[in-house]
Structure 1
């Protein structure tokens, strides 16, 4: 019987294909998640020692109840009605402040939805109404 000889081949280069695959995978993950990190609504958080500010009697106030019901000028409105009514007001004066008063138990996401609708209507000056802290 004859003996077989196994020859071992020596490679003088490194296979970089798995490394490139991993880098492309990480690049895709960063490209997908980066736009999700953007904050679309600019809000200036209230100061703790801010002076009390009284709104005008003619100011426009959007109220959001605990159950998510939206009230504008003391009338219950849908999200679409709110946008259409605010769009008509924004055509006259888009820099007029809109006061947003939301129930303290309302989720942050719902408040952000209403703020987004107000901005979509054409207003950039959205003021959050807060109650004075009880001492």
Structure 2
């Protein structure tokens, strides 16, 4: 007598290969997502913003594309001189009223703008804004 071959039917679907694929794709996306964020070439747009109201407590720091810093009518001051002048302002009686506007050239590297920003923060001032060109 011959035995007849019966194929076994599974009541459950084997999802192990599916789970392996899903976890593999998850790992790939977790690795590539942060890289995509930094690979985008961005040119910041012009913005609609309120005009700066100048008063005795408003200070504007200008930085040219050649990294030349202008502050309070003085040209070509170093970061150390800027920091010492900011410390003088911080030690004044009304130091909490000061507002700083950082006006940097659009061709200046982002890192250079941040260095000036950090210098102002290091002096103890928190009210710092970046100046943009007005949209037309």
Q: TM-score, normalised by structure 1?
A: 0.59
Match of 2:78 in 1: 78
**SS of equivalent to 1:67:** coil
Distance 2:67 2:119 in 1: 14
> 1:98 touches 1:125 (CA, 8 Å); kept in 2?
yes
CA distance change for structure 1 residues 48 and 65 in 2, over 3 Å: closer, same or farther?
Answer: closer
Aligned position for 2:90:
90
Deviations 1:105-135 (A, max 9, x none): 00000000000001111111111111102x3
1:28-61 per-residue CA deviation (whole Å, 9 max, x = no partner) reads xxxxxxxxxxxxxxxxxxx9454x2232143211
- Asked if 1 retains the 8 angstrom alpha-carbon contact of 2:60 and 2:101, the reply is yes
1:68 aligns to 2:71 (yes or no): no
Deviation of 1:91 after TM superposition, in Å, equals: 1.7
Q: Deviations over 1:83-113 (max 9, x none)?
A: 0001110122144111110001000000000
Partner of 1:117: 119
TM-score between the two structures when normalised by the length of structure 2: 0.58
Residues in 1 aligned to 2:87 and 2:62: alpha-carbon distance in whole angstroms: 17
List alignment gaps of at least 5 residues for structure 2: 1-45
Answer yes or no: is the 8 Å Cα contact 1:94–1:122 preserved in 2.
Answer: no
Partner-residue secondary structure (3-state), 2:133: coil
